[in-house]
Structure 1
Amino acid sequence: MQYQTVLSDVADDAVRAAIGAPLRAYNESQMGGRDYLPLVISVMNEAGEIEGGLWGHTCFGWLYTQLLAAPSEALGQGLGKRLMEEAEAEARARGCIGAWVDTHSFQAPEFYEKLGYQRFAELSDYPPGHSRIFYSKRLDGKAELDAAPRLLQGERLRLRASALSDAETFYPWARDERVMRYMEWPMPQSIAETRAFFRGNAERWREGDCHWMIEDAASGLAYGSLGCRIAGHQADFGYLLAPEAWGRGIATEASALLLEWLRGRPEIERICATTDIDNLSSQRVLERLGLSREGVLRKAKRRPQLGNAARDAAIYGWARE
C-alpha cells in the first residue's frame, strides 16, 4: 500500500481520533483499560458565579491537575492550597498512588514545592526565557526518587533548586575574581557556558548532585548558590556567595539548612567539606556548622584562579554516632 502525508494547521477532531485510535488500542493492551475520570472543583462567589477552581482528572492511578486558579480577591488566603488538598483527598479515595502537575517558572512554582511536590523535569526556554516545570507527589506514603528537596525554607533564607533562568544572576558572580579565587573550576568565558551548566542541573540532580540558589526568604533576592553531592552513605557540599552577601552570616545559615536536612536522613552517615588551606573564612564557617577539622589533604586540589600548582586543602567532617 502506498501512503502520503498531509500537513495541516486545522485541528480536526475526527483526524485526531483516527491518529490516536491505534495508539490507544496498543497502550490499553499493555496497561489495561483506562480508568479516566474528570476531577473538577469550582470556586463560586455569593451569586453562584464561578470565579476559579481546579480542573484535572485521575487516570492510571495518578491525579493530574491541568488548571488551578483562585479569584484575585482570595490571594493569600490559602484557597489554592485548599483546592489542591481537596483534589488529593479525592484522588486517594479513588485509589491513586500519586499526583502530578506542570507549571511555568513565572507562575510561582514554589507553591507546589511547599505542598510537597518534587520537580522531576524541566523544559527550558518554553517560552523563551522561561521554563515549563513538571512536579510529582506520592499520595501512598512512598518516598520520591529525588535525592533532595527542591526547597529548604528557613526564617531568613531559603534554598531553591536552581533553574536555567538563574544563569543570568549567577554569571556575574562567576566572573568576579574575588568570588572565584578559591574555586576548583575556571571562570566561564561566556554566559553560554553558565547556561549550559544550569541546563544540566536537572539530570545531575537525579544522580545526587544537587544545586540550590540561596535567596532571601521574604524578597527572593539571590545571595549565592550551594551545591551538594550525595553518594551512598555520605554527602559533601560547598557554596558560592556574591560579595555583597559576605560578612552577614549567610553562608553559615544557608549551609545549616542543608545540614539539618542531611542529618535528619538516617542513611547519611557522613557529611564533609574541603576548602583551600588559606581560605580562613570558609574554615570558620565549617567550624560554626559543627564540623570537625580532620586534617590537611596535601596537594589535593587545583584552583585555576591561583595558578596550576596543586594546593593543600583542609578537610572538615561530621559522622553519625
Structure 2
Amino acid sequence: MAFNTERLNLKPTTVEDAIFIHELFNSPGWIKYIGDRKVYTVNDAQTYINTKIRPQFEKLGYGNYTVIRTSDGAKVGSCGLYKRDGLPCIDIGFAFLPEYAKKGYAFEAALKLKEMAFNIFHLEELSAITRIDNKASQRLLSKLGLRQNGTIRLPGDSVELLFYHIKNK
C-alpha cells in the first residue's frame, strides 16, 4: 500500500529500489547516525531488501517506504515503521539523502506515516530512537509529537540512544 502527500509518494521498498538503498545506506548521515549495515554493493542492497525489508511487510503489512518526490520522480529518502528488538512498540524512522535535507520532506513523510500507523494500521503507540548528537532528528521527532522518555540501548549495541514515544489519542 502506497501513500501520498502534497509533494511525496511513499511506496513499499522493493528490490527495484536497490540502487537507491545502496546510495542511501552509504551516505555520510546514514553511516554517522544509523550505522554501517554492510550494504557495500547493489547486490548487498537487494539481499538486504529481500531478507530484512520484505519479510516485515509480509508479516505485519508495513515496513520501509521509499520516499519519491512527485514533481520529478526522484527517490529522496526512506521512512518506515519497524519492529525492532529491544523496543516496546513499533519504531518510526526516517533517513534522507543529503541533497534533499532541510526541505521539509522528512517531516512531511513521517507525519503521513504516523497518521497511517494510527488510522490505517491501528497501532496504539509509536516509539523512535536517535543518537544523542542527532539534533535534527530530535527536532523532527518533537515536531511529530513524540516526547523524549529517557535513553535506551538496543540488544547487542553499546550506543546509548534517546528514546521517544507517543500514544494514539
Decide which of 136, 140, 144 is 1:281's aligned counterpart: 136
Alignment of 1:245-264 (within 5 A): 245-264=100-119
Give the superposition deviation at 1:172.
Answer: 1.9
Identity within the alignment, %: 22
Determine helix, strand or coil for the equivalent of 1:155.
Answer: coil
Structure-2 change in CA distance of 1:192 and 1:236 (3 Å): same
Give the superposition deviation at 1:301.
4.5
- Tell me the SS of whatever aligns to 1:311: coil
CA displacement at 1:161 relative to structure 2: 1.0
**Alpha carbon RMSD of aligned pairs, Å?**
2.4
**Pairwise CA distance, 1:204:** 2.4
| Cross-structure match for 2:63 | 210
Matched, 1:195 2:68: no
Q: How does 1:67-78 map to 2 (within 5 A)?
A: none
Partners in 2 of 1:172 and 1:183 — Cα distance? Answer: 14
Counterpart check, 1:318 vs 2:166: yes
Amino acid of the structure 2 residue aligned with 1:237 = I
Alpha-carbon spacing, 1:301–1:230, altered in 2? closer, same or farther (3 Å) = closer
- Of structures 1 and 2, the one scoring higher in RCO (CA 8 A, sep 6+) is 2
CA shift, 1:230, in A, is 5.4
Cα shift readout 1:227-260 (whole Å, capped 9, x = no counterpart): 21259x9421211210101111111111011011
Determine which structure has the larger strand proportion and give its number. 1
Q: Which runs of 5+ in 1 are unaligned?
A: 1-149, 303-307
> Residues of 1 paired with 2:43 and 2:14: CA distance?
14
Specify the SS of the correspondent of 2:159.
strand
Aligned to 1:222: 75
Which AA in structure 2 matches 1:158? N
- Bigger share in helix: 2
Q: Contact 1:230–1:236 at 8 Å: present in 2 too?
A: yes
Question: How far apart are the structure 1 equivalents of 2:166 and 2:2?
Answer: 23
Contact 1:179 1:243 in 2 (8 A): no
CA deviation vs aligned residue, 1:46-100 (integer Å, no higher than 9, x gap): xxxxxxxxxxxxxxxxxxxxxxxxxxxxxxxxxxxxxxxxxxxxxxxxxxxxxxx
Q: Secondary structure, in 3 states, of the residue corresponding to 1:207? A: helix
Q: CA deviation at 1:312?
A: 1.5
TM-score (norm 2): 0.85
Aligned residues: 164
Q: Distance in 2 between matches of 1:214 and 1:275?
A: 20
Q: Secondary structure at the match of 2:34?
A: coil
SS of the residue 1:220 aligns to: coil
Offset of 1:309 from its aligned partner? 7.4
Following TM superposition, by how much is the alpha carbon of 1:265 offset from its aligned partner in structure 2, in angstroms? 4.3
Partner of 1:243 in structure 2?
Answer: 98
Superposition TM-score, scaled by structure 1 size: 0.47
Hey, what does 1:172 align to over in structure 2?
Answer: 23
* 2:22/2:40 contact within 8 Å kept: no
Q: State the AA in 1 paired with 2:34.
A: M
Q: How do residues 48-63 of structure 1 correspond to structure 2 at under 5 angstroms?
A: none
CA distance in 1, matches of 2:95, 2:19: 15
Q: Could you report, residue by residue, the CA deviation over 1:187-237 in whole angstroms, capped at 9, with x for unpaired residues?
A: 422221111112343332112251110111232211011221259x94212
Gaps of 5+ in 2: none
Contact kept, 8 Å, 1:226 with 1:255, in 2: the verdict is yes
